[in-house]
Amino acid sequence: MADARSGDSPPNKLTLAPAEKAGECARKAIAFGVEALKNNQAAALKGEAEAMHQLRVASRRLRASIQMFENILYAAQVRIYRRDLKWIARQAGAVRDCDIKTKLVRERVQKIDPELAKSIDPIVQALELQRKAEHAALCESLNSKRYTALLAKLGAPSLRKASAQRKLGLVANEVLDPIVEDTLNRGKKLDKDFPARHFHKLRVRIKRLRYALEMLSTLGAKQHKKTLARLEALQDRLGEYNDTNVTAAWLMSYTDDHAMPARTVLAAGALIHSLGGRGKNLRRQSIKDWRRFERSNLLNDALEEIRRAGQLAPVEANLIAPPTAATAEAIETPAESQPQNDNGEQPREPVREPMINTGTNS
């Protein structure tokens, strides 16, 4: 089955230079995310599916940026950012989830009895009604004072001066370490008997790690690119598993709470069975893919690439930096602009006699 989700790569690429100050990088990353929110707002208000998806992706990438640079931002500000970005992401996600469920139902219905498949219209109609309600709630949020205030606060982040002055290349591994540790610790607990929500939590952490590594792409090389590709594949696999579980759970809940024609109930049961089989395969494959990633040591190699490049970046920046106004004054003045004597020659410095200290050392 094709993945029910479209890619979450940003339409434009954020580039952070290793020789830039960490504070400036934090501002750039946040501004990039705010721009993505604003660019998708009008289309999201119209109900366009892709804009809804990109709005949620933008809020998630913003949360990843804030986590990455949280030691540079003031704690009170970080709390507000996290709280309100989670709020708007949940609002956009509720609409997006309806689109995913509808698409998944339409795809999986091809796997059940054709006669039963004809009876799914009430299910699809219920999802459409739910989407309308969730979209109305999102529109109210996007037009609220709270959302306007959030954009204003994101547009003027306050930075801790001491941390903000350090070069990104020198702090890259430092800002990555907590994200990496969180992801690996969550992955170590992955097991075939664990509840589905544990797999979803691992996916969230993989996504944040991937976003952070993407922001540091200027420091990466071959292993960095390989790591990003593997993380994206893992994220997609776990995302498909989560979509399957969420859709099956929604179908069970809906059939329990609403009166429907008998054949529609049977169709829902067949869909739940089909989704359950698909979910087992995805669960097994997700564990296999994660274990293979752990054993590959790709992530450690990528982090080592970033560390080496980060140490070299400030040195390279100094070597190629253009002369400033201060350094320009230190460059020797052309001969024609220097004072000359009557013969047109440059005056010589007078010879200074060496000074002899005749005193004693005290």
Q: What is the pLDDT of residues 58-80, one digit of tens each?
A: 999 999 999 999 989 999 999 99
Exposure b/e, 81-113, CB count within 10 A at least 16 = b: beebbeebbebbbbbbbbbbbbbbbeebbeebe
Report the alpha-carbon distance of residue 194 to residue 186 in Å, rounded.
12
When pLDDT is cut at 50, 70 and 90, the band that residue 354 belongs to is very low
pLDDT score of 1 more than 70: no
- Six-digit token pair at 273? 């069975």
Long-range contacts of 261-265 (CB under 8 A, 24+ apart): 261/119, 261/122, 263/116, 263/119, 264/119, 264/120, 264/121, 264/122, 264/123
Q: How many CB atoms lie within 10 A of CB 274?
A: 19
Chain position carrying tokens 């070069």: 167
- The per-residue pLDDT for 293 is 96
Q: Per residue in 179-195, pLDDT tens?
A: 999 999 999 888 888 88
Q: Are 37 and 65 in contact (CB under 8 A)?
A: no
- Asked whether the predicted pLDDT for residue 250 surpasses 90, the reply is yes
Q: How far is CA 11 from CA 17, 72, 119, 150, 296, in A?
A: 19, 27, 39, 22, 30
pLDDT of 348 over the 60 cut: no
Please report the pLDDT score of residue 189 as a whole number.
80
Task: Kindly state the DSSP code that residue 277 receives in the 8-state scheme.
Answer: H
**Rounded mean pLDDT of the chain?**
85
| Least confident piece of the model among 19-33, 185-199, 334-348 | 334-348
Mean pLDDT computed over 148-177 = 90
- Residue 91: is its pLDDT beyond 60? yes
The arithmetic mean of pLDDT across residues 152-159, rounded, is: 92
Would you give the DSSP letter of residue 321?
P
Going from the C-alpha of 277 to that of each of 55, 77, 210, 272, 307, the distances in angstroms are 32, 45, 29, 9, 44
**Side chain identity at 3, as an amino acid letter?**
D
Question: Number of C-alpha atoms within 13 angstroms, CB side, residue 17?
Answer: 8
Closest CA to 41 of 127, 144, 129: 144
Q: What is the pTM of this model?
A: 0.80
How is residue 215 written in tokens?
């922001």
What is the band of 14 on the pLDDT scale with cuts at 50, 70, 90?
confident
Contact criterion met (CB below 8 Å) for 96 and 239: no
- Give pLDDT, residue 15: 81
Residue 353 pLDDT: 40
Largest CA distance in the chain: 115
Rounded to whole angstroms, the Cα distance separating 131 from 136 reads 8
The Cα 303–Cα 176 span in angstroms is 9
Q: What angle do CA 335, 336, 341 make, to 5 degrees?
A: 85
**HSE value, Cβ hemisphere, 13 Å, CA-based, for 125:** 7
Mean pLDDT of 198-207: 95
What per-residue confidence (pLDDT) applies to 163?
Answer: 81
Decide: 81 and 227 in contact? Cβ < 8 Å.
no
Domains and CATH numbers, the chain: 22-317 (1.40.20.10)
Q: What is the mean pLDDT of residues 250-256?
A: 94
pLDDT at position 28: 94
For residue 313, the model assigns a pLDDT of: 63
Length of the chain: 362
